[in-house]
A and B are shown apart, each in its own frame.
Chain A
Amino acid sequence: MSWIKDLISPETREWEEFYRNRFQHDKVVRSTHGVNCTGGCSWQIHVKDGIVVWETQQLDYPLLESSLPPYEPRGCQRGISFSWYLYSPLRIKYPLIRGKLLDAYREEKAKTGDSLLAWENLQNNKEKRAAYQKARGKGGFRRATWDEVLEIMAAANIYTAKKYGPDRLVGFSPIPAMSMLSYAAGSRFLQLFGGVNLSFYDWYCDLPPASPEIWGEQTDVCESADWYNSKFIAVMGANLNMTRTPDCHFFAESRHNGTKAVVFSPDFSQVSKYADQWIPLHAGSDGAYWMAVTHVILKEFHHEKQTPYFIDYVKKYTDSPYLVEVVKDGDTYKPGRLVRANQISKYKDVENGDWKFLNIDEESGDLVMPKGSMGHRWDKKGGNWNMKHEDAEDNKQYNPLLTLINNKDEVLQVEFTEFGLDNKRMRGVPVKYIETVDGKKIVVTTVYDLTMAQYGVSRGLQGDYPADYNDKDAAYTPAWQEIFTGVDKKTVVQFAREWAKTAEVTEGKCMIIIGAGINHWYHNNLIYRAGIMALMLSGCIGRNGGGLNHYVGQEKLAPMDSWGTIAFAKDWQDAVRLQQAPIWHYINTCQYRYDGHFSEYNKVPDNEWTKGHHADHIYKSVRMGWMPFYPQFNQNTFELSKEAINNGAKNDDDIKKYVLEKLKSKELKYSISDPEAEENFPRTWYIWRGNAIMGSMKGHEYLLKHYLGTHSNAIAKDITDQKTEEVKWHDIAPKGKMDLVIDLNFRMDSSALYSDIILPAASWYEKADLNSTDMHSFIHPLSAAIAPVWEAKTDWDIFKHIAFATSELAKKHFSEPLKDIVTAPLAHDTADEITQPTVKDWYKGECEAIPGKTMHKIAIVERDYTKLYDKFITLGENIKTNGLGAHGNHYMCEDFYDEMIESAHFPVEKLNGKTYPSLKEDVSAANAVLFLSSLTNGELTVRAYKNAEKKTGLVLADLGEGSRDVKIDYKDLQAQPRRYNSSPLWSGLMHNGRAYSAFTYNVERLVPWRTLTGRQHFYLDHEMYLAFGENLPTYKPSPKPEVYGDLRETLKEGKAKIFNCLTPHGKWHIHSTYGDTLRMLTLSRGGEPCWINEEDAKDLGIKDNDFVEVYNDHGVYCTRACVSSRIPKGVSIVYHVPERTVGIVKSQVRGNKRAGGHNSFTRIHLKPNLLAGGYGQFTYHFNYWGPTAVNRDTHVVIKKMTKVVY
């Protein structure tokens, strides 16, 4: 710029150095934020004089295809405030321990001189134990030394294992992808110990169960750049600018490239500003809307127009041509199960015939057994697991017959239930009769025909079909949905037509972006399925610019293959204890006692399956091998194995047999059968990287009461008239189950406040780690811009120290290796998923008890606690012998393991004369993950594809060739974000800068989905799905407050206005993180308010910024009201997660006690059919399957406060 002199003389401008001086720094380091936001943003951390002064975004993302906008800059208002934490008054600088506990422990230690004895004495002293439990959450912290807290933790670890068994030691840490090694540190320690890791993705209700149901996939979505490829985007339950902040620009930019944008949201949410149409559906009614959209698509584009692209797509990629048996039930016909190949004589002897299914060839009319079914996946001889339209026996090509409408033997009237208006309808379905092996004739139809009938598309068939779109009573017409959604049918019809037309012209470039706003409803799986149906029927899955893109939680841990092994110590041992958290907390926090029978609020058909208490269903699912549950037995597993050996067991198999017999004789009991007995309590709880006590804790107040034994604001009463039957009912629920709660944290959050010991953890600018997300395809480092401050340590170091202290104490108190007996559920992506074609309960004598088949698996693991530390810091040789893999993919990597030992680039450890790759430092662990993953080591990519070729019989290795030379290490990542390789581990293809879009691998390469048929499922034929009326996509309305049971006690007090309280993700925090920073509190309202509508506020005499109480039976949250016209009536919003640490006043309705947070008014509700297991995609995997902990249907009362006390 020219230096124009006339305005002011240069000397007088020398002061300008005033601001120039500020803009100085000594170095800039790349790091990111290990927070569950899915951002995965690359940041420049500016350091001056050894102090982190500020952060700004990196702008150096490699570009994708030239037709896509760049990723830079990524990072939001929250991320850019992070440095505040480093030196804030919330920072945990030293180990802290509650004074009451410390004094009690020291007293015992002084008496005994031994840490273990001291801990034991303390635990045996009921009064002292209760005393320090009651002090939880109420101040009185004291600074302690690392040595002393390590001593106490080691004592608690060994004591728990000795007294009750290692499966009473639990750990919770969420979403590893955001800082995967910090997660792995704790999980590796716990698994080496024999402890339990609690799942998070289902617990957070981030898992969309519809994804496993339809695709056999936990979640797979497109990266945000792919939004830009779409030409029609429907956004629902996701608030892109608020929660997908760094990605939102793709959405905004896409509009200017001619994309239509429709936003569904009951409130005028932030993202609504981008909408061409904003559709304020009644909260939670999205499913009804989509059912009607699909009705229009089916009628106009499938039936009337038979759009070739759509028809071709559903034939190829969905289960729609598969045959389903129509069964007679009393007087009526009902849809039944998929017809099995071995039901007919032609295929009666095929391997895994229960798990292969049938199509009809359109040309010949013959029955055909398509390739690609689950049975083919686990056939001894591979090569048939693909989606070619070929008969698996003779490889003959065929063209699947989609509908029997022109090939029917008869039209039968089949019964369909519609749950919204509570109707049953008889509708004509074209059927054929086929002869089975046993000579019987069965009635069959196709999934497609059932779908047409279910959606009410008559196609000229007889029956109770709607006359037209205006039929208000018939499911699922545009007029029918009006009653649920409040949206005019004209809007639905226009939407459906534009949607389908766009999909037709662009071949599938319509997408749904969906989020927690939908996924947290009780019937979330049905709402999702309703939307996915529209996508599948218009050929939008597996296409760039299409798909169901669910962004709830940073679930995508890209290098899952190598990381999973290190994280769960599978390099040293085979069996792990991974717990489905929702059922675990439901049982252990005693919340089941306040629940009653689920049929009170879940609309289910009346049959044997749908009766009783959810807890009993859980118990069943555990013994059936569907769900895990730890603690396992009412007996210490170490004692049990000793007992087996004393009774003559010579080897592991003998021990297993002994255990099985003892279970069969019911002498050995499952902990789940009596969770309130002392011996079945979880005892020692490690929390790290998460806010387990507040943030995610549905039924937080119950946790305070039953886990912690401290104060609680819950007033709910046990539902004694709807007790459990099999699970033993105690009249009085225990309080204070946990002996010791340890929290690793860099800030004083609600969990830290309630823990016994707080360990100062390094923050995200103080450690080495890795971060990946589904929002983009880069892998990021966390780096130490500065060393951990004060006495903080990295998570990796902390658990290393705990392992060391535990090993050292074990030398004194646990020196003999002992056998641990580990039960595990049947596992997805293994042959376990084809074990239970029908549900038979061995416990009730309905079948033989066979571990790994009719029941859970039993494994034996030797625990040598004296070697725990050694194992922690070295990479075990199992990697060499077993290879690596995930999601059913596999590759060998012994050469790379050896290279790690021989190469000078990797550190090693020498133990007992053997050399191992070292994992002592976090950077070494990061490099091990990168070096051994098929995503970051190109040679392994090729191997993984080659392995997939064997299984599928397809050519796939070419996909890996282009990146064969890639080898990314930690330093590379620090230099620039790096895109990882396409790998069979993930379902998207991303060559040459192509944006990642889920299932493009399946669609383009014909690799099956990991489902029963290998195709995307319209139809779910597990017996529980049939029983619960969820076999076909359907709509179940949100339960009303009276039946949901949030206000049983509260409403006794008199009249009140009831609100559906929504807790979507907020603008000023990522869950609870950042929400307590001064910056976010200043830019918001100094705390998380309760948003209500102007008119509701007027009714309640509430003005903006008045203090209000938001409460129900479970607890209370006190905050200020935020009165706004953008909130619909009858709904209130408290963005989650407010901490109960900052600015929370005392509650008037709960006796002047400090109020809680947003989870103070939630409680766990679960859907029983999501417990199913051992059946195709309905098979357990950690964070993949199981009931999710929903919270969206919660109801509260809101009241103005008249006196506000801090």
Chain B
Amino acid sequence: MDVRSQVSMLFHLDKCIGCHTCSIACKNIWTDRKGAEYMWWNNVETKPGTGYPTKWEDQDIYKGGWEKSGKSISLIGSGKLKGLVNIFHNPHLPVIDDYYEPWTYKYSNLIEAPAQDDQPTARPISLITGKPIEIKAGPNWDDDLSGSPDYARKDPNLENLSPAEQEAMFQLEKMAFFYLPRICNHCLNPACVASCPSGAIYKRGEDGIVLINQKVCRAWRMCVTACPYKKSYYNWSTGKSEKCILCYPRIESGIAPACMHSCVGRIRYLGVMLYDADRINEVASADVNNLVNSQLSMILDPFDEDVIASAKENGVADSTIKAAQDSPVYKFVKEWGIALPLHPEFRTLPMLFYVPPLLPVMASLSEQKNKEQLDKLDPIAKKWDDDWLYDTSTEELWGTIDDARFPLQYMANMFSAGDTCKVKDIMKKLMAVRIHRRDKTVGDLDKENVKKTLKDVNLSADSADDIYYLTSLAKFDDRFVIPPAHREQAIEMVENTGDVKGSSGFGFIEKPARGI
């Protein structure tokens, strides 16, 4: 057992507002500069939708992630031979238009325009060429089902849904959408690390954060292709690739990552989890049906004495073990089993987890056929041309999970490599918590039914209350539990920490430029 610790984030999608505050918090601090304009280390997508970069989930196009080859796995897009062949031409790289060409406006025109015979306006110009630009794509182009014929209907996750099921997702009575915030998954089996010819990418030992060394990176951009989540971006100005750093400068100071700090939906949880690094290869090569289970099984119980002993042997600090025991993420993922990784089939062992969202119940449409009735309308009154009746009545207070909008298969394609049972179990648990809380706070439901519901999903009333607490009432400190970084130890390995105290900050900071 090789126990390592991983800082891991959990997203409660049922709470996600889709506001993108996280994206901007991140951008303001990290990618608000030349060459990074188009980078969104954190972005939020509407599902169904094609996301950013467009159709990133479709590995037929981008060749990211790992594939099973024999008993082991290999990178889809690169590898020793492929790497050699492609070293000067990385054939599956997204082009700028797969992201978008960043633009601004000629704002100055408004203040500086001379007197003329029509109103001046600020027209869009490219941030790359400085020339007028046609805005045709953006980092959040299909937000809230924008352009659904072009985008949402081409969502790669629709793939193994029947045409009828696909079509239904865009009909009034079954339509829905939800939001998917994404950052780098800080995977346990990161494809980016494996693909880098310069060895510039590494996973930090102490917290599992995956970083691209800005001094070593040589712009091969293999990581851009290899990352199936397309979370490594090439900075065309500095000539280095960059990616989400999980705000390590903040985490090291005990402050939450910017995206989490700013999450007004309070959907994010950050905690540490212990895992067994010995099993990475085995787990990543698991059979597709067993991928999720085996990934979850390599996350270790921080209360287990053997685990603790091995952790200590490995140099994991006591404070880290304590944090792992208090980890909110561990609770969601392991204790309650209501969170799943995103696209486990990419086999990178992503270490962010998602609680899938509940959606409104389905409805039915019937023909109204009341021309006669329409004719009676007041002559001033507006008439509606659609002649349907919409019915969303349910037997039970909330309807059941089976009534929920969207085929479950869709969710399963995203979170459980296609296994609908997994997703359904979670949804049922979430609903059971609601039923339990309704019973406790209102008491208008049938008591026997309430008990049965909890029993069906193997939840005790106490666990249901715990889930409720962490979902709803949790304060920031409950959601954000990470161990101290012990920077003094880290610094000591290079120079005397006491000296750093007096000299920290002195020196010249140069702006990053190409090549440095």
Contact = CB atoms under 8 A, between A and B. Distances in A.
Partners in one complex: yes
Interface residues of A, number: 158
Given A1126-B145, A1153-B118, A419 B378 contact: yes
A395 to B, nearest CB: 40
B328 to A, nearest CB: 15
B355 to A, nearest CB: 11
B451 to A, nearest CB: 15
Contacts of A1206: 121, 123, 132
Contacts of B144: 270, 1067, 1124, 1126
Contacts of A1125: 145, 148-149, 152, 170-171, 175
B120 interface: yes
B141 interface: yes
Interface in A242-263: 242, 245-246, 248-249, 252-260, 263
B360 A1094 contact: no
B370 A3 contact: no
Interface string B122-140: 1110000000100110111
Given A1-B486, A421-B377, A1141-B122, A257 B105 contact: no
Given A90-B110, A141-B111, A277-B361, A1038 B381 contact: yes
A258 B437 contact: yes
B28 A279 contact: no
Contact of A96 (B111, B138, B214, B468): B111
A56 interface: yes
B83 to A, nearest CB: 21
A1143 B119 contact: no
A139 B24 CA distance: 33
B118 A252 contact: no
A73 B267 CA distance: 11
B389 A486 contact: yes
A1076 B107 CA distance: 9
Contact of A1083 (B138, B206, B317, B435): B138
Interface stretch (A74-82, A661-669, A1169-1177): A74-82
A1124 B438 contact: no
A607 interface: no
Given A139-B116, A1087-B135, A258 B441 contact: yes
Interface stretch (B73-81, B243-251, B282-290, B341-349): B243-251
Given A77-B23, A272-B360, A1124-B145, A486 B384 contact: yes
Contacts of B148: 1094, 1123-1126
A491 B107 CA distance: 51
Range of interface residues on chain B? 35 or more
A4 B315 contact: yes
B114 interface: yes
Interface stretch (B10-18, B64-72, B291-299): B10-18
Contacts of A912: none
Interface in B450-499: 468, 471-476, 483-486, 489-490, 493-494
A83 B32 CA distance: 12
A814 to B, nearest CB: 34
A256 B471 contact: yes
Given A1-B5, A76-B19, A270-B144, A505 B443 contact: yes
Contact of B266 (A12, A249, A1123): A249
A425 to B, nearest CB: 14
B118 A138 contact: yes
A19 B392 contact: no
B96 interface: no
A1085 interface: yes
Contacts of A1124: 144-148
B204 interface: yes
A65 to B, nearest CB: 11
A282 interface: yes
A1130 B493 CA distance: 68
Interface string B378-406: 11111111101111111001110000000
A781 interface: no
Interface in B11-56: 14-15, 17-21, 23-25, 27-30
Contacts of B25: 54, 56, 80
A1140 B119 contact: yes
Given A2-B316, A73-B263, A502-B444, A278 B120 contact: no
Contacts of A140: 113-116
A276 B23 CA distance: 28
A1129 B249 CA distance: 50
Contact of A279 (B376, B392, B441): B392
Interface string A1073-1103: 0001011011111110101001001000001
A77 B21 contact: yes
B205 A6 contact: yes
A260 B382 contact: no
A18 B213 CA distance: 9
Contacts of A1083: 20, 23-24, 138-140, 143
B17 A3 contact: no
A75 B394 contact: no
Interface in A40-63: 53-57, 59, 63
A272 B435 CA distance: 20
Contacts of B373: 472, 483
A18 B214 contact: yes
Contact of A70 (B18, B28, B262, B475): B475
Interface in A1-51: 1-8, 10-16, 18-24
A268 interface: yes
A194 B152 CA distance: 58
Contacts of A779: none
Contacts of B433: 256
A1 B441 contact: no
A99 interface: yes
B446 interface: no
Contacts of A753: 110, 119-120
Contact of B380 (A246, A421, A1040): A1040
B361 to A, nearest CB: 6
Given A1-B484, A255-B434, A505-B444, A138 B102 contact: no
Nearest to A229: B441
B115 A138 contact: yes
A1082 B15 contact: no
B380 A603 contact: yes
A128 to B, nearest CB: 15
A1060 B485 CA distance: 57
B376 to A, nearest CB: 5
Nearest to B357: A273
Interface in A208-261: 228, 231, 241-242, 245-246, 248-249, 252-260
Contacts of A79: 21
A839 interface: no
B359 interface: yes
Contacts of A501: 444
Contact of B262 (A73, A241, A260, A1081): A73
Contact of B384 (A74, A282, A1081, A1091): A282
A1176 to B, nearest CB: 30
Given A1039-B382, A1082-B139, A270 B393 contact: no
A3 B485 CA distance: 9
A1104 B147 contact: yes
29 contacts: A4-B205, A10-B493, A23-B253, A59-B476, A72-B475, A90-B107, A100-B115, A241-B17, A245-B17, A246-B264, A253-B472, A277-B361, A278-B176, A278-B363, A280-B172, A420-B378, A483-B370, A487-B390, A502-B442, A1043-B380, A1082-B102, A1083-B24, A1094-B149, A1097-B149, A1105-B147, A1142-B122, A1153-B118, A1154-B119, A1206-B132
Given A141-B113, A257-B468, A1142-B105, 7 more contacts: A22-B29, A254-B472, A258-B436, A483-B373, A1081-B105, A1086-B124, A1144-B121
Closest 8 CB pairs of A and B: A4-B205, A140-B115, A258-B438, A139-B113, A488-B391, A1037-B381, A258-B437, A1104-B147
